[in-house]
């Protein structure tokens, strides 16, 4: 990085004094705002202290209730534009340099910040458990972000923490993960992926391969049991996008599956992932991993995403993207709507919304854990593998559906995307709406487990099962 980008110091103080000052100016909001619902969160990652960062001012003007920093909050391991593992002294210097940004200090004074780190503030590019200065880096992280001297976080190994803010019914849980301190070493492949110069990391699984480490995994399971309406999980690296060769949860597929399984097994509703690292912005979504659409909103490049235009990276889960330009992410929550609306947004350097996805909170609802299927009873995926005319008994949780034809039929779907390749539909015809089902409507089945017996038929090419007799349909208690 060229030295002409050295930030202008607003006041000429020594580095030590800058560090002291920042400790004093840390916003201390936990008590003050614990009962107020959060309506506006800003988040982002990748801000080098070696270039101007006008977006700090934009975020201050946006006036979020909280700012979540997802790492690379400083670049300690970049010297004159080249990567070089940092010394503890260099990490401290980088924090002191950030403390001399007047816009950052203004933001800092008015907005509570909840941060984790990524590799460049950890001190070494793509580093994990093996990094020699990780404890020194952790102490400087806590000093900079104002962790109280007597906080148990100072004794905890790794930078992870969670908070729940807001009254019952409007609680936002913010969970910040540490994907560095415990992460087992990655191994590089030998051949670049097509379209990339970089050699990919080899997908690793098996004994000793971990992203979060045992203590953090246990802690996370406890956090997901706490009641909250919306849960924002901050991960420095991307969880869903995995078609690129760089760092991602996809490099440890079993660990990623463990994360999904944890969300499913705790029946944790309202999870949205936010991530950084990639120096681009994108929103990814996957319908199939936690029982409801899981979003991963990547905001990466507070001042590191305008270094040149580039094609969006391949990502089959991408919903929308911002391949060029510095940006930050925002999450706005309209708690007053009948079904609260969560807006997931990426904003340009001037604060304008670049892309967004609006999600009703009810969509992010964990279904009940699947009930056991007796022998011979098939899942929707098994039913979809059968042929027209095959007899079967299928069991699933009713996720979506509706009444059609003026009450002629009730459609019960196994998947949130009723046109999607994983959906199986049970069609309950009026002739079956007798006895216990005489007054049934869609709400009688929504969110419940059904077991239906019949034969596969086709409707517009899609496999389904039609029920004409109430005896062939069971609500599983």
Which parts of this chain interact with Fe ion (CB under 5 A)? 46, 72
Give the N- to C-terminal CA distance of the chain in Å, as an integer: 64
User: For residues 133 and 197, is the Cβ–Cβ distance under 8 A?
Assistant: no
Give the residue with the Cβ less far from Fe ion, 90 or 371: 90
Q: Count other C-beta atoms under 10 Å from residue 372's C-beta.
A: 8
C-beta of 214: minimal distance to Fe ion in Å?
Answer: 27
Dihedrals φ, ψ of 439, to 5°?
A: -110, 25
Give the residue with the Cβ less far from Fe ion, 72 or 286: 72
C-beta of 31: minimal distance to Fe ion in Å?
Answer: 33
Give the residue with the Cβ less far from Fe ion, 72 or 242: 72
Give the residue with the Cβ less far from Fe ion, 307 or 369: 307
C-alpha to C-alpha distance for 54 and 74, rounded to whole angstroms:
15
Give the residue with the Cβ less far from Fe ion, 181 or 424: 181
C-beta of 72: minimal distance to Fe ion in Å?
Answer: 4
C-beta of 196: minimal distance to Fe ion in Å?
Answer: 17
Give the residue with the Cβ less far from Fe ion, 249 or 335: 249
**392, 398, 404, 410: CA torsion to nearest 10:** 50
Give the residue with the Cβ less far from Fe ion, 47 or 432: 47
Give the residue with the Cβ less far from Fe ion, 47 or 162: 47
Give the residue with the Cβ less far from Fe ion, 72 or 96: 72
C-beta of 301: minimal distance to Fe ion in Å?
Answer: 8
From the list 271, 228, 234, 246, the residue with the least C-alpha distance to 125 is 246
C-beta of 346: minimal distance to Fe ion in Å?
Answer: 16
C-alpha to C-alpha distance for 244 and 263, rounded to whole angstroms:
25
C-beta of 75: minimal distance to Fe ion in Å?
Answer: 7
From the list 278, 355, 280, the residue with the least C-alpha distance to 323 is 280
C-beta of 215: minimal distance to Fe ion in Å?
Answer: 26
C-beta of 120: minimal distance to Fe ion in Å?
Answer: 6
Question: Cα–Cα distances in Å, from 464 out to 380, 433, 448, 476?
Answer: 10, 18, 18, 20
């Amino acid at each position: 990085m060229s030295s002409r980008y050295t930030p202008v110091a607003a006041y000429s103080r020594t580095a030590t004094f800058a560090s002291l000052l920042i400790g004093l100016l840390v916003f201390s909001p936990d008590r003050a705002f614990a009962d107020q619902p959060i309506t506006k969160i800003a988040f982002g990652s990748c801000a080098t202290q070696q270039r101007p960062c006008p977006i700090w001012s934009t975020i201050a003007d946006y006036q979020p209730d909280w700012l979540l920093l997802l790492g690379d909050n400083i670049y300690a391991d970049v010297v004159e534009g080249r990567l070089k593992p940092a010394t503890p002294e260099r990490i401290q210097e980088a924090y002191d340099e950030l403390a001399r940004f007047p816009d950052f200090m203004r933001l800092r004074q008015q907005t509570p910040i909840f941060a984790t780190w990524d590799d460049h503030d950890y001190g070494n590019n793509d580093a994990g458990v093996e990094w020699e200065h990780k404890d020194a880096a952790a102490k400087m992280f806590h000093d900079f972000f104002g962790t109280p001297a007597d906080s148990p976080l100072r004794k905890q190994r790794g930078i992870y923490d969670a908070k729940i803010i807001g009254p019952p019914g409007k609680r936002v849980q913010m969970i910040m993960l540490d994907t560095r301190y415990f992460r087992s070493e990655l191994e590089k492949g030998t051949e670049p992926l097509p379209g990339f110069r970089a050699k990919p990391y080899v997908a690793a699984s098996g004994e000793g391969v971990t992203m979060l480490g045992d203590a953090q995994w246990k802690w996370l399971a406890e956090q997901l049991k706490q009641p909250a309406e919306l849960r924002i999980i901050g991960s420095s690296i991307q969880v869903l996008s995995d078609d690129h060769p760089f760092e991602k949860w996809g490099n440890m597929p079993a660990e990623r599956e463990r994360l999904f399984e944890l969300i499913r097994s705790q029946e944790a509703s309202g999870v949205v992932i936010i991530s950084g690292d990639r120096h681009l912005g994108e929103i990814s979504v996957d319908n199939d991993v936690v029982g409801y659409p899981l979003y991963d909103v990547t905001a990466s490049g507070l001042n590191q995403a305008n270094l040149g235009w580039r094609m969006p990276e391949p990502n089959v889960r991408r919903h929308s993207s911002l391949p060029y330009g510095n940006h930050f992410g925002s999450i706005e929550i309209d708690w007053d709507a009948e079904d609260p609306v969560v807006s997931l947004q990426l904003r340009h350097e001037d604060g304008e919304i670049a892309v967004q996805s609006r999600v009703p909170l009810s969509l992010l609802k964990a279904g009940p854990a699947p009930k056991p299927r007796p022998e011979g009873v098939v899942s929707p995926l098994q039913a979809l593998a059968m042929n027209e005319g095959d007899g079967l008994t299928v069991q699933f949780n009713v996720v979506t559906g509706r009444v059609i034809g003026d009450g002629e039929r009730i459609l019960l779907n196994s998947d949130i995307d009723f046109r999607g390749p994983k959906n199986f539909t049970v069609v309950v015809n009026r002739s079956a709406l007798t006895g216990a089902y005489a007054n049934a409507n869609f709400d009688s089945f929504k969110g419940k487990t059904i077991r239906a017996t019949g034969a596969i038929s086709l409707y517009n090419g899609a496999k389904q099962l039609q029920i004409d007799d109430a005896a062939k349909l069971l609500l599983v208690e």
